[in-house]
Each structure stands twice: as C-alpha cells, then as structure tokens.
Amino acid sequence: MTATPGPARSSERTTAATALLWLRPDLPRAQVRAHWSGMYGRLLGHTPGVREYRQHHFPADVTGLWPALDGVETEIPAHRQLDGTAEIVFETATSGMKSMRYNKLVAANEADLFTRSVLNNSRAHDGRIFGTGDDPTGSRALILLRRREDSHPTALQYLVHDLLGASFAGIPGITEVRTQVFGPFRKRLGDSPNVAHDYPPEHRFHGAIVLGARNRTSLRAALDSPVTAAPLLVEVIAAIHAYPVEATYTYGSDRDHTPPLELHRPLPAAAPHRSRAPMPGASAAPLPAARSIPLPGMGQEDVIADHRGHLLCGLASGHIVRHDPDTGETRMVAHTGGRPAGLRLLPAGTLLVCDSHRGLLRVDPTSGEIEVLSRPADGPATRFRSAAMTSDGTIWLTESAIASDFGQGTHAAPKGLRGRLLRRDLNGRIDIVLDDLHHAGGVSITPDRSALLYVETGSRRLSRLVLAGPNQGQTEPVLEDLPGFPDNLSDFVDGRAWLAIVGSHGTIRAIAIDPQGRVVDEIHGTHPQFHSATSAAESLDRLYLAGPRHSGLLELDLRSRSHE
C-alpha cells in the first residue's frame, strides 16, 4: 500500500446495511417519494433491532461528484442510476435477524415503491461513524465504491475506513462521515416479492461512504481534496459513484411515534352480526333512578371517577373537567390543546389521556401540566382510543383508524376500520402486540394483573389477553355478537368493569363484567335527555354515563333498583 492513513479520529464501530433503490417509473416521482418517506419509512424505522434508519433521496438527473481518475469509473451510467439509498444501523451485530414479521411487512410494501432493490449488509462491526463535531449538515453525498477483482478485501477496508473515512473527518467544514464495507451479496436477505433484485457481479458495490458538510461549498472542497486522488484508489477501486443527496430522512430516534398502521390492507372478515338472544348472566331492567349532570361543553367520550368519587372527562374544546357530584361544582383542570377522549387514572393521581389530536398524554389535574408520551405515526388518519397501565409502568393502548361519524348521532357501523393493541415500555418504545383488530376500543386490566380485556368495536366483540402464567400471550373472545357497538371499558371497581354499548338511536345500554369477561349486570333503557352512552364508570353505588353528543353526564343510582 502506498497511501498514508488520515489523522486518527474517534469512530464508533457499527453493524449496518445499505440498500440500493430504484423507484417505480410508472408512477409520479413525487408521489412515490412521499410514500417512501412517509408510512414505509416509519414502518422500517420501528423494526425491532433497528437503531436508526435513514433514507437518502437522489435527484432525477445525476452527475457524479467524484473527480475523474484514470482507470476508475466516476461517471454514473444512466442505465444503472439509482434513485436513492437506505442506510440501516442495527442495535447489535445480530439485530438484523430480529422480527421477521416486521421484515415481511416492509417487503410487502416495497412493490408499491420500487422496481428494483438490492440490500448490502456489512459484516459485523464493519461500519464506522466518525466524530466530526456538532455543526448541522447542509449538504451530503452518498459514495459507492466497487473493488477491483484482483484487489484484496482487506485493502478495501483500509481504504474506506482508514484512508478516506479518517481523512474526510479531519477536513474543515465536514459534519458527518459514515463508512461501510459490505459482506458478500446474499439475495435472499432482501428478496421481497414483485421487485427485481438482479445484481450482476460487474455492477456490484463493496463499500459506501456518507459524507456530510456544512454547505455545498464545503462538500465540494472535500471532494476536491488530495485524498480523492490518492494512488491507492486506482490500485483497489474499479468504480466510484458519488451521488448528490437531495434530501435525507431519519427514523428510529423518535420512538414516541407508533409504527404506522397499514390503513389500506384489508382486514380479515369479521363474523356476521346475527339476531341474538338475551345476554347471559344478567337480565335487562328499566333504568335506575337518574339525574342529569350539566357540563360546560359537549364531546365527552369517556368518564372516570377518582378516589374521592369526583368525575373527570374531556370536552371537545380541549378542556378536562372535574365534577363533584355531591356539591355540583365543576372545575376545568387542564387544557390539552387537542381533543381529549379516553381517560385513565394513575395511582399518583395523574391521568393518562388519549387525545385524538395530540396522542397519548400524561396530565396532572392539579397543576394542569401536560407531557406527550406517544404519538400515532399516521397523524390525523388514526387515533389512540384507550389506555391502561400495569404496576410496572407498562402502558397498554389501542389505536384505530378514525370513524368520523361513530358516536356522533348516526351510529354508523365502524366496519373495515383497522385497529391494534400496543404496548409501551418504560423507555417509550412501542411494540405491536395484536394487529388486524376491527376498530380496537376500550382496554382494562384485571384486578390481579393477570389479563387484559380489550374491545373490538367493529366486530362487536370483547376478548381477553393473558399477561401472566403458562398461557401468557394467548387470546380468546369472551363476549361475541354484542347487541350494539362496544366502546369504552372502565377500570374494575369491586370486581367488575362496565362496558358501554352504542346501539340504536335513543337507547342506553351498558354491561358489567367480571375479570373473566362474564356478564354480571346490565342497564338498558331510554332517557329523555340522554340517548346513547360511549362510556360508563361506577363510583359509590352510582353509575355515570358519558356520550359525545351530550352537554352533560347521566347519573344512575344503582341502589334504587333494590327497592323496585
């Protein structure tokens, strides 16, 4: 070797991959790029084992940035010109083998975007991220290197990491240097269906460099520096294709977003609704003695009771209000800046709030302070519906596509609306536990913390997920073909939780269930000032009903039934 390595620079060793990508030419370029940087990017960025996923988008017309070198191909042939690359940094050397289910979801979406894709994996720890300071990056180049057949792989490693990488990192104005040396190409690792993966040996690349600079002038100065004409390049390299990067998108560091919901993939068919016999375990009776509780607004989708018997609910205005049923006092305790819907009381007295506009929030009703915990990846197309926390701090929550007319008076069936059950750990990472749910709704954890009950509004079903014991992870329906659309499910109080059921106009219905999902009580009837409930909460022998079409709550005195 006849070249001197660059000055010693601190670098982090990584296990990484680079995918070479060609967009579909039959679709508008802007449309495909938007989908690539949108749902597809968020989905891949949430793949377990992926520390960071970055997309580098190239312009439609490319001129190679590397200076001409005798005997080295620096002009980019039009017939193999890329539209972009994907850069993946894994959490560990074995992370690439994690979660084949997610990889299949990513692969299924590739045909919507790409006509060809080629995945190049580095060997374990054969990537580098060099320390270059904290200045922002205003311009980038993605450099691909093809090794000569008669040169040794170790010569390429030295050239990419020690000569080019370290030298670039020491040039003023350079803000980012990342290097990779690829292992042998294995088509099966990126063999997604309905996408070409042809990669003949004469077109293969063996290494990559991401070079970032403060601006285009600094980038150009680095590419014109002496290191880009080092004699070793001619000895080792057959081709250098240096692409200008038009835009870079980074995913994976924003773990507070959920993985994107595949809104357009068909759901498995739900069981058809049948005419049904009366529900087992309880018999319907006229409504207990009732009174209306006015509130300073409409839109309350959920109601909960705190440890003092005070009621809390969110309004369409964004306010969360607390009401004392005994004194009649109502106070506004917080404003989320969005649309608070599902509420849950935490042991410390704070609230978990599923806000239709802002995501999952922690709200302190004493100070009004608000913390955003998680956001739906698909923005206005989806919303969190319900959340519950276990004693170890794990949050279970449901997310569904939006049914804009459900609960607003038309009571249209939320059919075909995808939903899922998610789990958020203490570090804020969100994983999908159950997918393909039919408009996932309320959730509640059993008093012994051994199971979680969850609602599928679209299929009129209540199911049970085992959280502990030998059957952990198993699910089973416990109530099916309910007489309406089940919505919110309350916390358990004295061994039972209430499930509100939205039915025909003017009908109020809710059922109480035990931890096994068996029906132990039911209210069903009509009221002149209250027509349908989306939530029910029990406190001090009284049942409180909420519905977004009403400007108040309905209180039912459960004790009055014993005198009838």
Q: Please give the chain's pLDDT, 564 residues, in tens.
A: 445 555 656 789 999 999 999 999 999 998 888 888 876 787 777 777 888 899 999 999 999 999 999 999 999 999 899 999 999 999 888 776 554 445 666 777 788 899 999 999 998 899 999 988 778 899 999 999 999 999 999 999 999 999 999 999 999 999 999 999 999 988 777 778 889 999 999 999 999 999 999 999 999 999 999 999 999 999 999 999 999 999 998 876 455 556 655 555 556 666 554 444 445 444 445 789 999 999 999 999 999 999 999 999 999 989 999 999 999 999 999 999 889 999 999 988 999 999 988 889 999 999 999 998 988 765 556 789 999 999 889 999 999 886 544 444 333 445 557 789 999 988 888 888 998 899 899 999 999 999 999 999 989 999 999 999 999 999 999 999 999 999 999 999 999 999 999 986 678 999 999 999 999 999 999 998 898 899 999 999 999 999 998 899 999 999 987 654
Q: Given 233, 252, 271, which residue is the final one in a domain?
A: 252
Within a domain: residue 140? yes
One domain for residues 90 and 196: yes
One domain for residues 247 and 295: no
One domain for residues 244 and 313: no
CB of 513 closer than 8 Å to CB of 453: yes
Q: Which domain does 146 fall in, by range?
A: 11-252
Q: Given 229, 252, 275, which residue is the final one in a domain?
A: 252
Interatomic CA distance for residues 181 and 144, integer angstroms: 10
CB of 478 closer than 8 Å to CB of 504: no
Within a domain: residue 117? yes
Interatomic CA distance for residues 208 and 182, integer angstroms: 8
Beta bridge partners of 419: 400, 437
Tokens of 481: 């073909």
The number of folded domains in the chain is 2
CB of 398 closer than 8 Å to CB of 423: no
- The CA-based angle 33-39-41, given to 5 degrees, is 70
One domain for residues 228 and 313: no
CB of 210 closer than 8 Å to CB of 18: no
Tokens of 434: 């159950």
Within a domain: residue 512? yes
Interatomic CA distance for residues 218 and 530, integer angstroms: 68
B/e letters for 525-538, b = 16+ CB within 10 Å, e = fewer, are eebeebbbbbbbbb
Within a domain: residue 19? yes
Within a domain: residue 58? yes
Q: What is the DSSP string of 150-169?
A: TS-HHHHHIIIIIIIIHHHH
One domain for residues 347 and 232: no
The alpha carbon torsion through 162, 166, 167, 168 (nearest 10 deg) reads 130
β-pairing verdict for 542-546 and 535-539: antiparallel
Q: Given 252, 280, 307, which residue is the final one in a domain?
A: 252
CATH number of the domain encompassing residue 155: 3.30.70.100
**Helix boundaries (H) for 261-346:** none
Tokens of 240: 């250098």
Which candidate, 428, 443, 431, places its Cα nearest to that of 374?
A: 428
Which candidate, 327, 298, 312, 426, places its Cα nearest to that of 366?
A: 312
One domain for residues 136 and 229: yes
Within a domain: residue 515? yes
Within a domain: residue 426? no
One domain for residues 224 and 315: no
Q: CA 130, 134, 135, 141 torsion: positive or negative?
A: positive
One domain for residues 113 and 186: yes
Residue 103: in which H helix or E strand, if any? Answer: helix 100-110
CB of 502 closer than 8 Å to CB of 406: yes
Which candidate, 366, 315, 359, places its Cα nearest to that of 345?
A: 366
One domain for residues 203 and 55: yes
Within a domain: residue 272? no
CATH number of the domain encompassing residue 348: 2.120.10.30
One domain for residues 232 and 319: no
One domain for residues 90 and 233: yes
Q: What is the DSSP string of 195-248?
A: SB----GGG---EEEEEEESSHHHHHHHHTSGGGG-HHHHHHEEEEEEEEESEE
Which candidate, 156, 218, 224, places its Cα nearest to that of 184?
A: 156
One domain for residues 31 and 124: yes
